[in-house]
Amino acid sequence: MSVLGPLIALLGVVVGGALSYVFAALGESRKERWALGREWRGRKIDAYATYMADVRHLRDSAQRVAAGAGLDDTALPLSREEGVERLSEANLVRNRSFETVTLLADGEVVEAGRALNRAVWRLEWFARGLLDDRDTEGWRTACHAYSDAVNAFHECARRELGVQGRFTPREPEVSPRSRYEQERKLTGG
């Protein structure tokens, strides 16, 4: 009786068992990486959405105070005295949510967030009277810069998250008065 036959069979079982273990471990590792990546993507989406909501709240507050100072006619006016505390609180909240973004995002998204912070601060400074609060053209320019910064942040965040589809950038808001005047010119009225 030859010993070679059972040894080959035993070697086949050992090699088959080892390969089965290796492939199962690789598959499990890939599944864990996929689940972890999915969890981190979910956390990033939450962080980006919270940050954008906080930036928007700061911008809305600045816009209302600016309306009270005569710089903006698209928002309900709020006096500077009432608005300063609101601006301070909104800026603190925005700062906390941006810290979460800096912990989770890649460098491109963080840089876009920093540019957005600078743009919304400029609006806040106009509202606080730290910049010339009679410069309506400067206010409009700052509003356009804010819209551009929001678009850049959205593009970077979407790219990092792998969001498919075409991005539609937002346009700066046009005041009802400006729109009305434009329409009157077009109709000759």
Neighbours of 157 (CB within 10 A): 24
Domains of the chain listed by start with CATH number: 42-187 (1.20.120)
Q: What is the pTM of this model?
A: 0.77
Answer for the pair 139, 86: CB distance below 8 angstroms, yes or no: no
pLDDT in the model for residue 105: 96
Sequence letter at residue 87: L
DSSP class of residue 69 equals T
Q: Please report, in tens digits, the pLDDT of each residue of the chain (189 residues total).
A: 577 777 777 777 777 777 777 777 777 767 766 666 678 889 999 999 999 999 999 999 999 999 999 999 889 999 999 999 999 999 999 999 999 999 999 999 999 999 999 999 999 999 999 998 789 999 999 999 999 999 999 999 999 999 998 888 888 776 677 777 778 788 876
Answer for the pair 77, 68: CB distance below 8 angstroms, yes or no: yes
pLDDT in the model for residue 172: 72
Answer for the pair 138, 70: CB distance below 8 angstroms, yes or no: no
